[in-house]
Structure 1
Amino acid sequence: MIPGASAFTLTLSCPDQPGIVHAVSGGLVAAGGNITESQQYGSPETGSFFMRVDFTAPGTEAQVQEALAPVAAAFGMDWQLHPAGAPVRTLIMVSKSGHCLNDLLFRQRAGTLNIDVPAIVSNHRDLAELAAFYGIPFHHIPVTPDTKEDAEHQLRTLIQDLDIELVVLARYMQILSNELCRDLSGRAINIHHSFLPSFKGARPYHQAHARGVKLIGATAHYVTSDLDEGPIIEQEVIRVDHSRSAPQLAALGSDVEGRTLSKAVQWHAEHRVLLDGKRTIVFN
C-alpha cells in the first residue's frame, strides 16, 4: 500500500450497459486510487450489472465519494463505499441451541470473522452463560403471542441504539413479523437445515432419518417475509448413509449449520454479497 493511503471496498449495481468498468476505473484514478481486486457480473436474467472493487486511495472517504459521485449518477448506480477492515456491528439472535452462536463468536474472537457483536438477544435464558464467557451483553426478550409486538419493539430499540448493521438469526426459533422483515431487508441472515420444505416443524433430523435421506445440509439466506425463502447466500451438504442414527445426523447437521452460517456472515461482512432480486451475487 502507498504510504498515507487508505483501503476501501466499493460495491455497486446498475442497469447493464457498455462503459461501466471504464468509468468506474476512471473515477478511481481521479481519486488517486489503485485497484487491488475487481470482480464484476452482468445478469442476463435481470439486465443488471454488479461490481465489487478493493482499492487504496490517499484521500478521505468523503473525497473518494466525491470523485465517484458523478460516475454513479451517470449510470444510475446503487453504490456503497466501505472503509476496508471496518468490523460490521452485528446483533445475534438465538433460542436454545448454541452451536451456531458459539461458532460465530469463536471465529470473531480468533480474528477470522470481521464482526463486532455488542449484543446477543434470546427468547430463552439457556445461552446466557455462553454470552458471558465471551463477554457480550445478553438480552432476554421472551416472546409469546401476547408479547410479540412488544418484543419486536424492544428489538428495534436495540438495533437503533447500538447502531446495528447486521442481524444474524443463529437458530432463533421465532418468526419475525412481515414489517420487521421488510425493515431488515438485505441485512438479516438466517440459517436452516436444507431439508426444508420436506421436513418442516420439530425434529427435522429425526424425520430425515426415518425417511432414509442420503444428503443432509444447511442453507444460509437473507430474511424475508416469505418464511425460509429469502435470497440464498451459501449452502453446504454432506453425504450420509443408513448406518447413521438420528442423533448422529443432528450432530453432523449442527456442524454444517455452523460452517454455512459463518461463511455467509463473513461474505456479508466483507461486502461480497449483492442482491439481484430473489437471488444473490456472491463475489467470493
Structure 2
Amino acid sequence: MTEPNRTRCVLRFRSPDRPGILAGLAPLLTSNGWDIREAAIYGDPDTATFFARMELASDSARTADLAQHIAPAVAALGLDWEVHDIAQPMPVLIAVSKFNHCLVDLLHKVEIGALPIRIVCVVSNHEQERKRVEWHGIPYHHFPVDRSDKAAQERRFLEIIEESGAELTVLARYMQILSDDFAGQLEGRCINIHHSFLPSFKGAKPYHQAKARGVKLIGATAHYVTADLDEGPIIEQDVRRVSHATTAEEMVAIGREVEASVLSRAVRWHAEHRILGNGNQTVVLN
C-alpha cells in the first residue's frame, strides 16, 4: 500500500557485530516518529560484520532529520550508515551494443512499473536501437569506438553519465572492454550482465565454451564493474539445465532469457538500496 503523504526512506548500515544493535537503534527511531515498515539483517560470521536495511516512514520527521535522530546509536554502535530517499525512482543510464534483449526487457519493466528506475538515456556504439529508444522518449547517444583513440569515446561516455545525472550505469550487453580508469571511476555504480555463470567461461562466446566442455547447466551473472575484467562483486546469478543434445545456438537463445531476468533483478535491488559490499562479495538484503 502506498503512503503518498508520508516521508519514506531507506536506512542501511554495517557495523561490528555485537548483541543489541537493533535494540539500541529501534527506540531512537520510534521516539523520533519513525515507523519501521520493513527490515532485513545479516550477520557475517567470517568478518564479524552486521548488515541491516530498514524502510522507514514518518508523518512528522524528514529524511534530513534522520542523522540527528540516530546520532547516539552511530557513536555507541559504530554504524557505517547511509540514508536514501525512495520517493523518486533512481536515474539510470543504459549502455548497449547489438544484442538488445536486456535493453528491451528493462524498457518494458520500467514501462509497466516493475522497476523503481528512470532511464535518463541510452548509450551505444551502434545506431540500430535508436528508433526503439527514442520511441520511448529517451535520449539516444551514439558513440562509435575508434580503436586508435578509445579514450576519447570513454571521456564522452563519462561526460554523458555526469550530465544526465545517472546514479547507476547498466551495461546491458555492452560488448566493450572498459579501460581500468573508466571502470575505476564507476566502481560501485555500474552493473554488468555477463552471459555466463561466472567465474567459469569468461570472455567471448562463453556458451560455445560451455558446449565444448559438455556442461549440463548454463547461466548468467550480474556483477559490479571493477578494473579486473569480469571479477567484480557478484550480485545475482541464475541457471537453466541443458543436455548433450543442446546446441550452442540453443544455449544462446536460452541464455538471453536468463540474462534479462538476472540483470533486471540486480538493477531493482540496487535501485532499492538492498546491496551492501562485503569485501569482494555482496550482501543482498531482501
Where on the TM-score scale, by shorter chain, does this alignment land: which range? over 0.9
Q: Could you tell me how far apart the structure 2 residues matched to 1:71 and 1:89 are?
A: 31
Question: Are 1:224 and 2:226 an aligned pair?
Answer: yes
**Alignment match, 2:47:** 46
Q: Could you tell me how far apart the structure 1 residues matched to 2:114 and 2:201 are?
A: 33
Post-superposition offset of 1:220 = 0.5
Question: Are 1:82 and 2:84 an aligned pair?
Answer: yes
**Which segment is superposed worse, 201-210 or 78-87?**
201-210
Post-superposition offset of 1:61 = 1.3
**Alignment match, 1:244:** 246
Q: Structure 1 counterpart of 2:27, which letter?
A: G
**Alignment match, 2:188:** 186
Q: Could you tell me how far apart the structure 2 residues matched to 1:198 and 1:189 are?
A: 18
Q: Structure 2 counterpart of 1:51, which letter?
A: A
Q: Structure 2 counterpart of 1:213, which letter?
A: V
Q: Structure 1 counterpart of 2:62, which letter?
A: T
TM-score between both structures, scaled by the size of structure 1 = 0.93
**Alignment match, 2:67:** 65
Relative to structure 1, the CA distance from residue 195 to residue 233 in structure 2 (aligned partners, 3 Å threshold; closer, same or farther) is closer
Post-superposition offset of 1:136 = 1.0
**Alignment match, 2:15:** 14
- What are the ranges of 5 or more consecutive residues in structure 2 without an aligned counterpart? none
| Count of residues in Structure 1 that have an aligned counterpart in Structure 2 | 284
Q: Could you tell me how far apart the structure 2 residues matched to 1:4 and 1:42 are?
A: 34
Question: Are 1:158 and 2:160 an aligned pair?
Answer: yes
Relative to structure 1, the CA distance from residue 261 to residue 214 in structure 2 (aligned partners, 3 Å threshold; closer, same or farther) is same
Post-superposition offset of 1:279 = 0.7
Post-superposition offset of 1:2 = 8.1
Aligned-pair identity in percent equals 49
**Which segment is superposed worse, 50-59 or 143-152?**
143-152
Relative to structure 1, the CA distance from residue 178 to residue 96 in structure 2 (aligned partners, 3 Å threshold; closer, same or farther) is same
Question: Are 1:34 and 2:54 an aligned pair?
Answer: no
Q: Structure 1 counterpart of 2:257, which letter?
A: D
Q: Could you tell me how far apart the structure 2 residues matched to 1:3 and 1:160 are?
A: 30
Post-superposition offset of 1:195 = 4.9
RMSD: 1.9
Deviation readout 1:99-122 (Å, 9 max, x if unpaired): 011111110111001111111011
Q: Could you tell me how far apart the structure 2 residues matched to 1:4 and 1:205 are?
A: 50
- Decide whether the 8 Å contact of 1:221 with 1:231 is kept in 2: yes
- Decide whether the 8 Å contact of 1:101 with 1:170 is kept in 2: yes
- What are the ranges of 5 or more consecutive residues in structure 1 without an aligned counterpart? none
Q: Could you tell me how far apart the structure 1 residues matched to 2:228 and 2:182 are?
A: 12
